[in-house]
Amino acid sequence: MEVNDALVEHLCKLANLEFDETGMEEIKKDLEKMIGFVDKLNALDVSGVEPLLYMGEETDTLREDIFEPSISRADALKNAAKADKEYFRVPRVVKNPSA
């Protein structure tokens, strides 16, 4: 694949990016390096290699989901700037559209 100015400009347009002339040249060089790397990977013979699904031997390391209360309501409200018996009190941030 040839990396030319038209391709770089098209990619910049798709990504909504703007570069000056030196930035465009850097992007062009980087794209050429990336495509060269992919070409090297495509040249490898991986016909007998199984796809890698996990990086380690462990396949399921999930723990049992057990409910444990972490903090009481009184402790949570203890340092609140404003609170009533059960809730934090905060300033209104949504305006009533009918008012």
Asked if the structure places residue 84 within a domain, the reply is no
Asked if the structure places residue 55 within a domain, the reply is no
Based on the number of CB atoms within 10 Å of its own CB, is 81 exposed (0-12), middle (13-18) or buried (19 or more)? exposed
Asked if the structure places residue 65 within a domain, the reply is no
Q: Are 3 and 32 in contact (CB under 8 A)?
A: yes
pLDDT tens profile 6-60: 999 999 999 999 989 898 999 999 999 999 999 998 899 988 888 887 777 777 7
Total domains, the chain: 1
The whole-angstrom separation of Cα 73 and Cα 88 is: 10
Determine the structural domain holding residue 37 and report its residue range: 5-42
Asked if the structure places residue 19 within a domain, the reply is yes
The whole-angstrom separation of Cα 88 and Cα 85 is: 9
pTM above 0.95? no
Helix ranges, the chain (H) = 5-15, 21-42, 73-77
